[in-house]
Structure 1
Amino acid sequence: MLTYPDIDPAIVRIGDFAIHWYGMMYLIGFLGGWWLGRRRAARPDSGWQPEEVGDLLFHVALGVVLGGRIGYILFYNLDLFLEDPLVLLRIWQGGMSFHGGLIGVLVAMWLYGRRTGRGFFQVSDFVAPLVPVGLGAGRIGNFINGELWGRPTDLPWGMVFPFVDARPRHPSMLYEALLEGLVLFVILWVYSSRPRPTMAVSGLFLFCYGVFRFAVEFVREPDAHLGFIAFGWMTMGHLLSLPMILFGLLLLLLAHRRPQTAGTSSAGGH
């Protein structure tokens, strides 16, 4: 049995000012995505220039932060927002929804593509392999914040979260860091290392993330104010992940059924 380490969520405190680990994880995710994006863009068959990556990720960063926070409030804490609207701005306290962030990123990629004359899936296929770095870092931030813990377990790596109770629980945020971060990154990076049909990389991202998140929801403690929302076992995370799985499969099917042309935009990165 393991015990959750007592980690100060702030890296540095100077009076009322503090730099939080949670925010640092987002910075690591964006910097990692920028570095990997420049590597992908430097490939001769990428259809991108390294200089474009910074502008693209600025759009993505806005989509992640705005969409993630708004989605968290709308999907999980609408009552709290109605009581205290300023909670929307307190990002350092934790509380970001991946599904809300995804919607924000989709809007940001559409706007960027429209401005640069690229199709939506040209942009999303390029961005998808960069995203798991930020996802993995964000889940480490959840662990440091001591949030999104799992259900009770008797497995040897069960972890006691003293601020919850004395029962060993799944460290579900670490499962997500592994699956949504490392495993998803390897799958997408390897898959996108060769030219693929337009939409294929985006479809694989949606499908794999949806499957990983759906699976982890079985060991993650449901939000106390929501509980199980259907069939006695389905959580909000389950419900939001199902469309991702189905839409990802649809994109993969359409991508491989469309006539392929030379020089697709999905290539990138050894």
Structure 2
Amino acid sequence: MDPVLVSFMGLTIHWYGVLFASAIFAGFQVMKRIYVREGLDVESLDNLLIYCVIGIVVGARLAHVLFYDPSYYFAHPAKILAIWEGGLASHGGGLGAILALYYYHRKMKLPFLFLLDRLAIATAIFGFFVRMANFVNSEILGVPSDKPWAIVFERVDMLPRHPAQLYEALAYLSIFIALWAIYKTTEMKQKQGALFGLFLVWVFSARFAIEFVKVKQAAYAQDWTMSAGQMLSIPFLLVGVFLLVKPYLASKAK
């Protein structure tokens, strides 16, 4: 696909930007529905949106620069700001969102884990749109494949490849649907940290598995058994397991 959606009178709009904006809009709408459902201050979501967008973009870009291609960006520092060319690492975006939410929680006096549980649902649908943006940008490529659904990314080469971006997008969409259903129909949301823990376990298990069919992005990790993405996923996965079982262990202890 042409990465440019439309170009008119010097104004260029990229698919990547449109899909990233769609990710923000979708996540915001999910949080709005949750706030209305729970009788929380919907107007305060404007502040949360600003904090999270800044945290996600800055965190994701810095993580990409530092963990995936540091030699290139240190040699071309001006390119660090060129986010429209792609290059946002989800691990860094996740940390940035968590830090932004912590700042918001301090101002709003709402429990931190309570907010993380609900933001996890919005983050899953956010991840779906971001991976679709990676797909149209021909980045985060899969390894060559002879599968009938393999895709040729002509702006890169003529090799049929695993559409790894679509695998992740579908995984995140499925996780969003499952988390939303659990939130609406079960009492799991009452166990603070459990929904966020489940989100971390599902997302980073999917990420770890899909990395096996991705081209390794970090040049320094080409000879490693695991990719940089898999190595970075392990801490998130362990934290997810801990948060998922912690409330249940606490309830049994009582």
TM-score by length of structure 2 reads 0.92
Deviation at 1:145, TM superposition (A): 0.7
Which residue of 2 is the match for residue 268 of structure 1? Answer: none
Deviation at 1:168, TM superposition (A): 1.6
Matched, 1:53 2:53: no
Which structure has more relative contact order (CA 8 Å, sep 6+)? It is: 1
Give 1:61-100 correspondences, 5 Å limit: 61-100=53-92
Which of these residues, 166, 169, 174, is aligned with residue 183 of structure 1?
174
SS in 2 for 1:218: helix
User: Are the counterparts in 2 of residues 228 and 236 from structure 1 also a CA contact under 8 Å?
Assistant: no
Moved more, 170-179 or 215-224: 215-224
Which of these residues, 216, 239, 248, is aligned with residue 210 of structure 2?
216
Deviation at 1:9, TM superposition (A): 1.1
Which residue of 2 is the match for residue 226 of structure 1? Answer: 220
CA–CA distance in structure 1, aligned partners of residues 180 and 10 of structure 2? 41
Which residue of 2 is the match for residue 8 of structure 1? Answer: 2
Deviation at 1:259, TM superposition (A): 4.0
Give 1:150-189 correspondences, 5 Å limit: 150-180=142-172, 182-189=173-180
Give 1:8-157 correspondences, 5 Å limit: 8-14=2-8, 16-43=10-37, 46=38, 48-157=40-149
User: Are the counterparts in 2 of residues 25 and 138 from structure 1 also a CA contact under 8 Å?
Assistant: yes
- One-letter code aligned to 1:223: Q
Distance 1:18 1:174, change over 3 A: same
Deviation at 1:167, TM superposition (A): 2.7
Moved more, 186-195 or 137-146: 186-195
User: Are the counterparts in 2 of residues 229 and 236 from structure 1 also a CA contact under 8 Å?
Assistant: no
Distance 1:12 1:105, change over 3 A: same
Deviation at 1:165, TM superposition (A): 3.3
Matched, 1:205 2:196: no
Q: Whose helix proportion is higher, 1 or 2?
A: 2
CA–CA distance in structure 1, aligned partners of residues 218 and 62 of structure 2? 19
User: Are the counterparts in 1 of residues 142 and 214 from structure 2 also a CA contact under 8 Å?
Assistant: yes
Which blocks of at least 5 consecutive residues in structure 2 are unaligned? none
User: Are the counterparts in 1 of residues 69 and 218 from structure 2 also a CA contact under 8 Å?
Assistant: no
Distance 1:247 1:47, change over 3 A: farther
Which residue of 1 is the match for residue 234 of structure 2? Answer: 242
CA–CA distance in structure 2, aligned partners of residues 111 and 229 of structure 1? 39
SS in 1 for 2:6: strand
Distance 1:36 1:169, change over 3 A: same
CA shift digits 1:214-264 (9 cap, x unpaired): 010011111262343533xx101110111111110010111222349xxxx
SS in 2 for 1:217: helix
Distance 1:224 1:81, change over 3 A: closer
SS in 2 for 1:95: coil
CA shift digits 1:96-122 (9 cap, x unpaired): 000010111111011100111123212
CA–CA distance in structure 2, aligned partners of residues 224 and 240 of structure 1? 12
CA–CA distance in structure 1, aligned partners of residues 73 and 34 of structure 2? 40
Identity of aligned residues (%): 35
